[in-house]
Amino acid sequence: FVIDMNIFRNLQTLIGKNSNNINQIAKKVNSTGIIYREDIEDLKKENDDISKEIIRIQNILSRKYINKFM
């Protein structure tokens, strides 16, 4: 069973970017008391990207698992 680790590196990058953006927004909100709709939409998009990547990984692993036993 060979796993392409690039998939996991990509996921780690997406999660890191999302975490960074959350921290920046938290700092902004704490200092100004204001959060912008655009910031929230960006976070939603990043979370969607992460979810899609996780589903893609699950599909790849499922296919490898099923093929192994067929």
3-state SS, the chain, equals CCCCCHHHHHHHHHHHHHHHHHHHHHHHHHHHCCCCHHHHHHHHHHHHHHHHHHHHHHHHHHHHHHHHCC
Q: Which long-range contacts (C-beta less than 8 Å, at least 24 apart) are formed by 22-31?
A: none
Mean pLDDT check: name the lowest of 3-12, 32-41, 42-51: 3-12
- The whole-model pTM stands at 0.70
| Residue-wise pLDDT tens digits, 9-38 | 888 998 999 999 999 999 999 999 998 899
Span 50-67, pLDDT tens digits? 999 899 888 888 887 666
Per the structure block, which two tokens stand in for 68? 């192994």
The pLDDT of residue 61 is 81
pLDDT-based confidence at residue 2 (cuts at 50, 70, 90): low
Q: How far apart are CA 43 and CA 69, in angstroms?
A: 39
